[in-house]
Structures are given as structure tokens and as C-alpha cells.
Amino acid sequence: MSVRIVALVGSLRAGSHNRQLAEAAVKLAPEGVDVAIVEGLADVPFYNEDIDVEGSVPAAAIALREACAPADALILFSPEYNGTTPAVLKNAIDWLSRPYGGGTLTGKPVAVVGTAYGQFGGVWAQDEARKALGVAGAKVLEDAKLSIPGSVVRFAETHPADDAEVAAQLVAVLGQIAAAAA
């Protein structure tokens, strides 16, 4: 039986290094682990409880929930915007946390990793995402971490999948997630 990990990418930019890191996770996933990137986060409206009622839930929010529900675990790839989590990623967490206590995230193993231009690799954003995930009921994997600094320089000419150090660290994180989901 394969472990299904769903990846959410917090950057909408076409050339996003976090998107490339997620692509590396898909490519480098160990045997028995399947990683799938969720598309369409830009189309999910900001969470609003008034529209989160049967018959009114936006199609993009339904698609997000349906993509994540069958997953054994999630991995979030977060850049850092002004010292915190990008709105698109926080919004996805909000939609997946509802209904409170019974949302898609409840009890599900989740890791947060990423890369950013700064010298700490997006640690603040990743910590904020972990906090929100924990409040939302996810089983946050506090030890499954990967923060890659200097993304603009490090990945200027090298895809993260082709960076031996990053690849090894990413495979290790995927192994931790798979073990938690088993």
C-alpha cells in the first residue's frame, strides 16, 4: 500500500522555487510514497463562514477539500512574505480546517518545508504555518523540517531536484511523513 502525500505550494509565481521544491518531492518520493501537488489555490476565495454552507461552498474550495481528503498526509511548501506565511497557504489551511474539529486536516500528519531568499530560508513563515495547522487540528510533524536559505542564488541555475544536499534532505522529510502516516 502506498502512502499518499498531498503538497500545497504557498507561492503562485510561475518560476517559484517552492513550486520547484514540490516538483522535486514528486520526482524524488521514495518507493511506496506518492506525492501529488494540488493545483488551483489561487482560485480559492478567502475563507468566509457565510459561504461555507451546503449549496454555497465555492467549487475551488470543494476541489481543495476533495484533493486533500483522501491523502494520508500533507506537506506544505512555504516561502516567506514579510516574515510570515503567504495568504494563499493560510487560506488553504482555513478552508481545510472546517468544519472545526472535523475538517480535512483533523489528525492528519502535516509537515512544512520551504525555501526563501533570506538567510533563514523562511523559518518564520514555516513556524507560523505549523502554528495554524496545529490549531486547525493537524498532527504537525515538528521534527520534519527543511528551510533552505538564499533560494534566488542557490536555485538560479539548478533545480532543487538536482541539488544533492537538498534532494537528500527532502527525501528524509518525505520518509518522516510516510512513517507518521503509516
* Residue-level pLDDT at 101: 81
Sorted by where each begins, the domain ranges of the chain are 3-181
Handedness of CA 39, 45, 130, 178 (dihedral sign): negative
What's this model's pTM, rounded to 2 decimal places? 0.96
Q: Give the residue ranges of the chain where pLDDT is below 70.
A: 1
Closest CA to 139 of 68, 85, 72: 72
Widest CA span of the chain, in angstroms? 48
What's residue 127's pLDDT? 97
**Domain 3-181 adopts which CATH fold?**
Rossmann fold (3.40.50)
**For residue 1, what pLDDT is reported?**
67
